[in-house]
Amino acid sequence: MRGPHNILRLIRTGATFERTGAMGVALDAVEAPPRLRLAARVLGWPFRWLGYRGDPALPPVTRAITALGPAYIKFGQILSTRADVVGTELADQLRMLQDRLPAFPTDIAKQIVEADLRQPVDVLFSEFSEPVAAASIAQVHRARVRETGREVAVKVLRPGIAAAFRRDIDAFHFAARIIEALSPGSRRLRPRDVVSHFESVVTGEQDMRLEAAAASEFYENTREDANFQLPLPHWHLSSRRVLTSDWAEGLPMGDRQALIAAGHDTTQIATRVIQLFLQHALRDGFFHADMHHGNLKVAPNGDVIAYDFGIMGEIDEYTRRVYAEILMGFIRRDYRRVARVHFEAGYVPRDRDEAAFARALRAVGEPIFGADASRISMANLLGYLFEVTERFGMRTQTQLILLQRTMVVVEGVARSVDPQLNIWDAAKPVVSDYIKSNLGPRALASDMAKVAQTVGRYGPLLPRIVERALWDRAHPDEALPAQPDRRALPLWLVTVLSLAAGAAVGLGLG
């Protein structure tokens, strides 16, 4: 990584915010303390002339973010869903980052389509519109397949986007190393791992074939979900830089007034958004991890439509169970159980006081219950939660980064549709059903079967493993002689013994 280049990039970030007038707006929006305001001004003002000018027609913060590039735009997209953190006015300004960024020329998009699909656009499509949406990674054109007459969305990767992201990610890695060097206490938050995780996510987002595969898998998981739709990819019209999928017709999720005018129940829609995310995360372990307003619509019949599957999250079964127990503990206000789960999962060092941790969690959770949603400050809540994690030495769980980030975004989207939504009431049915299915007797029987299957699969190796262990104990200085295969137990006998051993292990765990 190039040190001087990265230093210049970080200085230019502060300088751009200063030059565009975004610095003061951003600091006011997050209610920054005096020390942070002073540090930002001292670092930004002397280098103001190095900052990017941006588009003067845009509001200051949006102007600065768009000038700095795609990685910053991604961060701005997250903030656009958090009116409770940055204020309604700034959130509305940032919402354009979701799908209303400056587009690149249609002629260039057609050249990319022709180069990747190896046929002229006019041969493939009878109609091909100007860009209808443009985001940080790609832009979308509305088209009609000549062969079938089907209306589709053609998503085309921005030219030069890979190099732009590499430049930003390079600077982020450098900043993470500097932060860890200057503040040893920050290492528990694992800033370098966080940046690496972000890098892997955006790198995968730049291959449209992976997005098509994610859409296909997501559809297989969710095809029976009520009130949910997603557009399917057209594989023969897709490539690394081009993705063609069904056209999704509906009202933008971010236009609350239009939803009300169309007669939709905004409370039901907001609740459904929360529940769909939790269903996919807990039930499937595979979820849409970029569920901002720009990637969601509401169909005429009220169904939630999700699209743009460039960023998908995946969590293993054990982590899903831990996450569900933590959520359920908060829903039931059982803070001792929430604390115990954190300790059992290793999220909190075992030398810390579990009872004190439970009381700290109570201080986080209690203000939420029974309060009017509009009176809950997520900024204050997250700030206190950060203090708790710091006090108890919790390390950032990289496997949960995408899940936690998406949960914040999804809650922001749901609250924008229904400002009075109580997220805990919306989440309770889904989490309760998951707990019943995965933490009871049925789950124990399923776990036992999986243990037996695993042991059975490696059954043919067990005699040799046991023999090697016994030989090493009796003859520590001699190698085990090679043995012919005929000395192994018959496969059917090994399988029976393995199944019995697996059942015994399962019962022991219970």
- Residue by residue, DSSP assigns 426-487 as HHHHHHHHHHHHHSSHHHHHHHHHHHHHHHHHTGGGHHHHHHHHHHHHH-TTSPPPP--GGG
Residue with tokens 């730049």: 206
> What's the pLDDT at 162?
81
Q: Rounded to the nearest 5°, which phi and psi values hold at 350?
A: -70, -15
Predicted TM-score of the model (pTM): 0.72
> What's the pLDDT at 304?
96
Q: Are 315 and 285 in contact (CB under 8 A)?
A: yes
Which of 137, 110, 133, 477 is CA-nearest to residue 290?
137
Question: For the chain, which residues score pLDDT lower than 50?
Answer: 1, 485-499, 501-510
Give the integer Cα–Cα distance in Å for 280 and 19.
Answer: 43
Q: Are 82 and 408 in contact (CB under 8 A)?
A: yes
Q: Which of 84, 168, 290, 418 is catalytic?
A: 290
Q: Are 340 and 354 in contact (CB under 8 A)?
A: yes
Residue 290 annotated in active site: yes
Burial 88-117 (b: 16+ CB within 10 A, else e): eebbebbbbbbbebebbebeebbebbbebb
Give the integer Cα–Cα distance in Å for 194 and 203.
Answer: 14
Helix (H) or strand (E) run with residue 286 in it: strand 286-288
> What's the pLDDT at 373?
59
> What's the pLDDT at 502?
47
Beta-bridged to residue 143, according to DSSP, are 128, 152
Identify the three-state secondary structure at position 238. coil
> What's the pLDDT at 396?
62
Rounded (10°) CA dihedral 15, 18, 20, 23: 130
Taking CB atoms within 8 Å and a gap of at least 24, the contacts of 464-470 are 464/488
Give the integer Cα–Cα distance in Å for 61 and 349.
Answer: 39
- Classify 302 in phi/psi space as left (phi over 0), alpha (psi -120 to 50) or beta: left
